[in-house]
Homo-oligomer: A and B are copies of this chain.
Amino acid sequence: MSSGYRFYERASKAYYSHPHLSKLLVVSTISGGGLLAFSESSPLRSTYAADVGDIKKKKVVVLGTGWAGTSFLKSLKDPSYEVQVVSPRNYFAFTPLLPSVTNGTVEARSIVEPIRSIVKKKKFDVQFREAECYKIDTQNKKVYCKSTQESNLGGSEEFTVDYDYLVIAMGARSNTFNTPGVVEHAHFLKEIEDARRIRRTVIDCFERAGLPSVSEEERKKILHFVVVGGGPTGVEFAAELHDFVIEDLAKLYPTLKEHVKITLLEAGDHILNMFDKRITQFAEDKFQRDGINLKVGSMVTKVSETEISTKERDTGKTVSIPYGMVVWSTGIGTRPVVTDFMKQIGQTNRRVLATDEWLRVEGCDSIYALGDCATINQRKVMEDISAIFNKADKNNTGRLKVDDFKEVINDICERYPQVEIHLKRKQLRNFVHLLKNSQGEDELDIEKFKLALTEVDTQMKNLPATAQVAAQQGAYLAECFNRMKICETYPEGPLRFRGTGRHRFHPFRYKHLGQFAPLGGEQTAAELPGDWVSIGHSTQWLWYSVYASKLVSWRTRVLVVSDWGRRFIFGRDSSRI
């Protein structure tokens, strides 16, 4: 292979992975002289396009338009795919603002972006189908879909879509833990429609409590709002509801204010238990000051039409409390279609769909799963320990010096991220130190090597089911698809310890950018990267600015910011619409 050709190939690779580099390339190749023919991007592109025209386009089917699906779609750039998106919702919703929608701090329409607006901007073939996938046929590489429109247009349309690659990003559903009466009587807070229904119900409760025929006792019941689940969503909703009552409804329904009661039920010991202890403490104190009735160690056993029953851990007794509205926000469960699919592919004893570190569904070919419907099954070091040792032991001596590992260290750390976490935790500078430290010797055999790495796998943690994870996974997978061809020739992932060569791609690595917990009254707590904790008014402004910048389009950005402005000036609207 001539060096000229190799240069072309490298330039082409760089160009496709970093299209913004094309200008830079032009300059460098001109200065290099002789290779002027390759310096223009258009011939390159047209050659490429011709290639694409010749071969049949690969069909990519994306199921879902939540964080993962939309992020995948937005980041996908390679025109050599034919994409079909199937989702019962023809919009993407910026879910972190859902609690704000429940009482009109922002409007539902401000936090949604039509998928077709995103599709429209794509330079290649993307089709959107508003339908629900109800079955995946891995044998024939087909998904079965049915329409979800409500209008009087006859029964539901059914159709199938063929795929070469399937991206499952269907999210999750609310988890009731099979508690009786929850589905029938409680509100969830997962979809736009849920948030709107909650808003209407809150106003309904106030209007009803204001009727002259309602008894004092009944009034108290109607104005008792119960939130189940002390996670970020439940806490934020309780806080937002409290603000809505204090700032707006108290003025409009002055006689009812004293009857309002907000109760937050949490089965564990503390609310916000995934956050830093300082934040939990601050939130609990603030809720107490605000008069929000916080009950921890309180497990809901039943929801009837008028009462919610809880079992108190301290006393062991079951208590029933009358309520006006219950909002259920305890966690997520798997959608039936995903459960069916898991059975089909033999993942029967799992809670959610398991994928490898490249987001490929385990036991499947060409199927990827990301977001809340999936979890990454991180490979354990111990499973591959002999393979790793052998890879380093090039000469098959059975004994290795610590320095012999130098060549594979980076690959080990990339393939098994728990190693790095372990090092950080033990405050060790690098892998070599870990090996040295435990032995004190400079040479080790397989047994000693195992011993040194025993604890490493305990550092493995599942990623949280958050928007942040889903969005990063979507972008990651799209990038893999964009670089599929190039990486087949030039794999860029870590060494295959159990095989030969390298993995095609770097495995997915989650970068935690921090987490907010809005607590009402313009107070927000935040856990930022590097164990920083920030609480208060300034954090609220940080929250505003981060959320404004994260919004999916300029349209939603302007709408949400103007909604905030409206709320400051006019308050929230209490019309029952």
Contact = CB atoms under 8 A, between A and B. Distances in A.
A158 B208 CA distance: 11
Nearest to A326: B152
A161 B205 CA distance: 21
Interface stretch (A6-14, A24-32, A127-135): A127-135
Given A114-B252, A577-B109, A157 B211 contact: yes
A147 interface: yes
A450 B409 CA distance: 115
Contact of A222 (B153, B193, B222, B558): B153
A207 interface: yes
Interface in A192-251: 192-193, 196, 200-201, 203-205, 207-208, 210-214, 222, 251
A154 B306 contact: yes
B159 A212 contact: yes
Given A113-B575, A207-B90, A305-B154, A212 B570 contact: no
A82 to B, nearest CB: 13
Contacts of A116: 252-253, 574
For the residues of A in contact with B, the DSSP-based class is mixed
A351 interface: no
A65 to B, nearest CB: 10
Interface centre among A113, A192, A573 (most CB of B within 10 A): A573
Contact of A153 (B112, B131, B147, B324): B324
B89 A576 contact: yes
A108 interface: yes
A2 interface: no
Contact of A555 (B104, B129, B570): B570
A371 to B, nearest CB: 20
Interface string A99-139: 00000100111001110110110000000111100000000
A204 B151 contact: yes
Contacts of A383: none
B149 A112 contact: no
B149 A208 contact: yes
Nearest to A221: B153
Given A120-B251, A200-B150, A203-B90, A573 B129 contact: no
A575 B91 contact: yes
A114 B574 contact: yes
Nearest to A90: B576
A562 interface: yes
Contact of A201 (B129, B151, B558, B566): B151
Contact of A147 (B112, B192, B196, B208): B208
Nearest to A222: B153
A452 interface: no
A192 to B, nearest CB: 5
A68 to B, nearest CB: 19
Contact of A185 (B128, B152, B251): B152
A324 B200 CA distance: 29
Contacts of A109: 104, 107, 573, 575, 577
A325 interface: yes
Q: How large is the interface on A (under 10, 10 to 19, 20 to 34, 35 or more residues)?
A: 35 or more
A533 interface: no
A252 B107 contact: no
Nearest to A192: B577
Contact of A112 (B89, B119, B577): B577
Nearest to A204: B149
A26 to B, nearest CB: 34
Contacts of A306: 154
A559 interface: yes
Contact of A130 (B149, B207, B222): B207
Nearest to A104: B109
B154 A577 contact: no
Nearest to A306: B154
A159 B213 contact: yes
A112 B573 contact: yes
A559 B566 contact: yes
Nearest to A186: B152
A214 B305 contact: no
Nearest to A116: B252
B251 A147 contact: no
A577 B101 CA distance: 13
Contacts of A193: 577
Contact of A575 (B112, B131, B147, B153): B112
A287 B212 CA distance: 52
A519 B210 CA distance: 43
A108 B205 CA distance: 22
Nearest to A128: B210
A305 B152 contact: yes
Nearest to A202: B151
A128 B209 CA distance: 12
Contacts of A204: 149-151, 153
Nearest to A214: B157
B573 A208 contact: no
B151 A577 contact: no
B208 A151 contact: yes
Given A113-B575, A161-B212, 15 more contacts: A89-B576, A112-B575, A119-B252, A120-B251, A129-B212, A130-B210, A131-B211, A150-B204, A151-B208, A151-B325, A152-B185, A159-B211, A159-B213, A193-B577, A558-B570
